[in-house]
Amino acid sequence: MFLSLPGNDGIPIEFDKKFWATISDSFISCVNEFFEKGEMSSSQKQAIITLIEKKGKDRSLLKNWCPISLVNIDTKIMTKVFETSFIITLYDMKVEVKQIVG
């Protein structure tokens, strides 16, 4: 299994996990501010786009590379929380996936 790559802040998810007891209050304040303002901080809106090679392919051809975005860990966590809340809301509303996608 791959470790999560850090985003533009350089902090991997393992840091958050290890120091959660220390950083949780600050993180929750950050998340609450995001929901109150409806906007992320500038660093949370940034991503680093890089290319990774497809294993066993000719590295000289652009088609053999895949772009990935390295996003701030805070953003990844907030996105996952939002996604989970959204799915729970849809489930509570008894909305079926086929109703959403057509």
How far is it, in rounded angstroms, from Cα 72 to Cα 63? 27
Alpha helix segments (H runs only) across 12-96: 13-18, 20-37, 73-92
Q: Quick check: 72 and 43 in contact, CB under 8 A?
A: yes
Q: Quick check: 71 and 7 in contact, CB under 8 A?
A: yes
- Between 101 and 10, where is the model more confident? 10
Task: Map out the domains of the chain as residue ranges.
Answer: 13-101
Instruction: Please tell me whether the overall predicted TM-score, pTM, comes out greater than 0.75 for this model.
Output: no
pLDDT for residue 11 = 83
How far is it, in rounded angstroms, from Cα 35 to Cα 22? 22
The three-class DSSP label of residue 48 is: strand
Each residue of 45-88: pLDDT tens digit?
A: 888 888 999 999 999 999 999 998 888 888 888 888 888 888 88
